[in-house]
């Protein structure tokens, strides 16, 4: 069975973009692949963060993933820092990575601007750690949203560079996109993101979600109820495509273009469909929060299973780069 790897940062609340862009797809892939999913805490420390909140955020993130169907019988779920081989492989990959390539990465340039006072080496090296995450499991496929494509392509390049220098070791992983790879925020202009204050949280109470949708930007050219709209320019329609039934999507497409329905009605249908899907997830999170030990056990056993794979690959890597001799044994 081919292996899949993907990760999510524990940097605050999981939002609808994470869910339809990645997590829902992760849950659908578990039957066809050997799936490894990770809460990437070492990535989250590349920007300023609240130390006292980190543990809680790691646990919350992992709990949501399980509530979305990523149970330990279906996949391996763990926390990145629990398997230190990720960072060990990062160091080795650092030594085949030209600095110039890292400086050209889109996310580094964006984050560098956002965090001008804290452009640390970790921020620059972020894609190398991500490549190590994927390649330490020799994963062939990486399900992510559109914003991560460049990072996955970079990991292919690292694999190529390592293989060329030290002999064939790593596969070149491929991106798997979901059918909603880019969800915009409630501002209708930029990607939905924890840091941009434009996100609908997966765990937001229904009345908060309803209010966020009510005030969310739609097609800017549709000023009045009687103006025909253009669903192709409307983020609410993109969300309908992620949450509504095909007949509802066709209905909205037609009646938006002909001003048959207004944005208020369109958003109400979306709200109802969204809650039908995420309401049960919220319920499972509440249930799991009653028994915190369950998540601790899930993450401990996930880390043990992943460590067994990572250790073996690191052994192979150490031999290939010449730092481990036969006399050292296992």
194 is catalytic: yes
The percent helix, strand, coil of the chain (3-state, each to 5) is 60, 10, 30
Candidates 6, 63, 90, 244; binder of ligand TYM (CB under 6 A) is 6
Nearer to ligand TYM (CB atom), residue 179 or residue 211 = 179
Name the burial class of residue 94, with classes exposed (0-12), middle (13-18) and buried (19+) by CB atoms within 10 angstroms of its CB: middle
Structure tokens at 326: 């036969």
Extended strands (E) in 1-137: 3-8, 34-39, 76-79
**Residue 239 or residue 298: which is nearer to ligand TYM going by CB?**
239
Q: Is 22 in the site for ligand TYM (CB under 6 A)?
A: yes
145 lies in the binding site for ligand TYM (CB under 6 A): yes
* 25 binds ligand TYM, rule: CB under 6 A: no
Residue whose tokens read 């605050």: 12
Instruction: Please report, as residue ranges, which positions from 186 to 205 form the binding site for ligand TYM (by CB under 6 A).
Output: 191-192
Interatomic CA distance for residues 264 and 322, integer angstroms: 65
Rounded-to-integer distance, Cα 185 and Cα 182, Å: 10
| Residue 105 φ/ψ region, left for φ over 0, alpha for ψ in the -120 to 50 degree band, beta for the rest | beta
Q: Measured at the alpha carbon of residue 210, what is the angle toward residues 205 and 212, in degrees to the nearest 5?
A: 95
Number of residues that bind ligand TYM (CB under 6 A): 25
CB nearer to ligand TYM: pick between 9 and 186: 9
Q: Does 144 bind ligand TYM (CB under 6 A)?
A: yes
Catalytic residue (choose from 111, 161, 212, 267): 111
The separation between CA 232 and the C-alpha centre of its own chain, rounded to angstroms, equals: 25
Question: Is-catalytic flag, 138?
Answer: no
DSSP 132-199: HHHHTTT-SEEEE-GGGHHHHHHHHHHHHHHHHHH-S-----EEEE-S----B-TTSSSB--GGGT--
Distance separating the N- and C-terminal Cα atoms of the chain: 27
Binding mask of the shown chain, residues 149 to 168, with x at each position contacting ligand TYM by CB under 6 A: --x-----------------
236 binds ligand TYM (CB under 6 A): no
The CB-of-194 to ligand TYM minimum distance in angstroms stands at: 8
Does 41 engage in binding with ligand TYM (CB under 6 A)?
no
Q: Which is nearer to ligand TYM, 23 or 266 (CB)?
A: 23
Smallest distance from ligand TYM to CB 249, Å:
18
Smaller CB separation from ligand TYM, 97 or 148 = 148
Contact (Cβ atoms closer than 8 angstroms) between residue 220 and residue 36: no
Select from 3, 4, 12, 17 the one that contacts ligand TYM (CB under 6 A). 17
Tell me how far, at minimum, the Cβ of 262 lies from ligand TYM, in Å. Answer: 26
Q: Is 307 in the site for ligand TYM (CB under 6 A)?
A: no
Assigned token pair, 55: 């543990």
Active site residue 111: yes
Q: Which residues have C-beta within 8 Å of that of residue 255, sequence separation ≥ 6?
A: 261
Site string for ligand TYM, 242-281 (x = CB under 6 A): ----------------------------------------
Among 3, 4, 7, 281, binds ligand TYM (CB under 6 A): 7
Closest C-alpha among 148, 128, 147, 130 to residue 139: 130
3 contributes a contact to ligand TYM by CB under 6 A: no
Determine which one of 191, 307, 311, 320 is catalytic.
191
Positions that interact with ligand TYM (CB under 6 A): 5-9, 17-18, 21-22, 40, 43, 130, 133-134, 142, 144-145, 147-148, 151, 181-183, 191-192
Task: Give the active site residues.
Answer: 111, 191, 194
């Amino acid at each position: 069975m081919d292996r899949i790897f993907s990760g999510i940062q524990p940097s605050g609340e999981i939002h609808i973009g994470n869910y339809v862009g990645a997590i829902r797809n992760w849950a659908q892939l578990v039957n066809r692949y050997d799936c490894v999913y990770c809460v990437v805490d070492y990535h989250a420390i590349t920007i300023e963060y609240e130390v006292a909140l980190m543990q809680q955020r790691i646990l919350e993130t992992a709990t949501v993933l399980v509530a979305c169907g990523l149970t330990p019988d279906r996949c391996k779920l763990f926390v990145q820092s629990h398997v230190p081989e990720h960072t060990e492989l990062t160091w080795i990959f650092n030594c085949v990575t030209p600095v110039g390539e890292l400086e050209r990465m889109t996310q580094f340039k964006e984050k560098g601007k956002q965090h001008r006072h804290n452009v640390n080496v970790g921020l620059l090296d972020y894609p190398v750690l991500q490549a190590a995450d994927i390649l330490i499991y020799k994963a062939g496929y990486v399900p992510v949203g559109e914003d991560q494509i460049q990072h996955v392509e970079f990991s292919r390049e690292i694999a190529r560079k390592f293989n060329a220098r030290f002999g064939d070791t790593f596969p070149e992983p491929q991106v798997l996109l979901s059918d909603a790879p880019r969800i915009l925020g409630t501002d209708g202009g930029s990607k939905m993101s924890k840091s941009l204050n434009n996100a609908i949280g997966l765990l937001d109470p229904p009345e908060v979600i309803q209010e966020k949708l009510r005030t969310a930007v739609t097609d800017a050219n549709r000023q009045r109820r009687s103006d025909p709209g253009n669903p192709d320019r409307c983020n609410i329609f993109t969300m309908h495509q992620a949450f509504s039934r095909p007949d509802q999507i066709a209905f909205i497409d037609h009646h938006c273009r002909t001003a048959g329905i207004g944005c208020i009605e369109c958003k109400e249908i979306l709200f109802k469909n969204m809650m039908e899907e995420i309401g049960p997830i919220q319920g499972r999170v509440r249930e799991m929060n009653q028994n915190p030990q369950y998540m601790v056990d899930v993450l401990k056993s996930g880390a043990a299973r992943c460590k067994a794979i990572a250790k073996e690959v690191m052994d192979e890597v150490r031999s290939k780069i010449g730092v481990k001799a036969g006399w050292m044994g296992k």
